[in-house]
Amino acid sequence: MCGIIGITSNKLVSSPIINSLKKLEYRGYDSAGIATIDSGFIKEVKCEGRVESLEDAVSKSKLTGNVGIGHVRWATHGVPNTINAHPHSSENVSIVHNGIIENSTLLKKFLINKGHKFKSQTDTEVIVHLITEYLKKDNLKDAIIKVLKKLHGSFALGIIFKDNPNLIVGARRGSPLAVGYGPGENYLGSDSYALKSMTNKISYLNDGEFCIIKKDNVEFF
């Protein structure tokens, strides 16, 4: 079990993401990480251990950005270390994941044959490269639909994109995922507990749904 959080806002998001991750540590404390869209690029900070170590690393990195995702990990695929910590990112896509991708080995072979290079031992990194591959030909919504159809297993996902820096995609199959609504910002979280300090207006994705979250609206598909 892992914990995920995402925020899209008109304000800086690294501090509220860290605060939400502290509330999610009951879901995992092997490692923690955060990624934001910072000056047009995906920037990530990850560490082994608890969120307080991540907080120190983020303060030293001076991470900025109005859109971001965060994660606390309970290891399933791959040992608990910084490389296997979430988020997992390519140049264009960054993902946090709770769940297990049962066909990750087959998908990884397919992607390696396409020229993709993997850095971690996790099943999650497969999703990063799969989305990156489909975005070469498809728009964001169509790419997400195709990727979700390829995945076998359970997941709750939070995804950000370099080329769509104003939004977060959330997707759910088997694992719970909540959306929160606030003034000038909206949220994605593993559960309502992670979001309650920011909002009391919360809904849950139905199984098999995905959503596109912007600071001023949320669409469900």
Structural domain boundaries in the chain: 3-98+153-220
pLDDT tens string, the chain, 221 residues long: the values are 678 999 999 999 999 998 888 887 765 557 789 999 988 999 999 877 677 778 878 888 889 999 999 988 655 544 555 667 779 999 999 999 888 999 999 999 999 999 999 988 888 899 999 999 999 999 999 999 999 999 999 999 999 999 999 999 999 999 999 999 999 999 999 888 888 889 989 999 999 999 999 999 999 99
What pTM was estimated for this model as a whole?
A: 0.92
Report how far residue 58's alpha carbon sits from residue 107's, in angstroms, rounded to the nearest whole number: 33
- In the chain, beta strands by DSSP E: 3-9, 31-38, 41-48, 67-73, 88-89, 93-101, 153-161, 164-173, 178-182, 185-189, 202-204, 210-214, 218-220
Indicate the CATH number for domain 3-98+153-220.
3.60.20.10
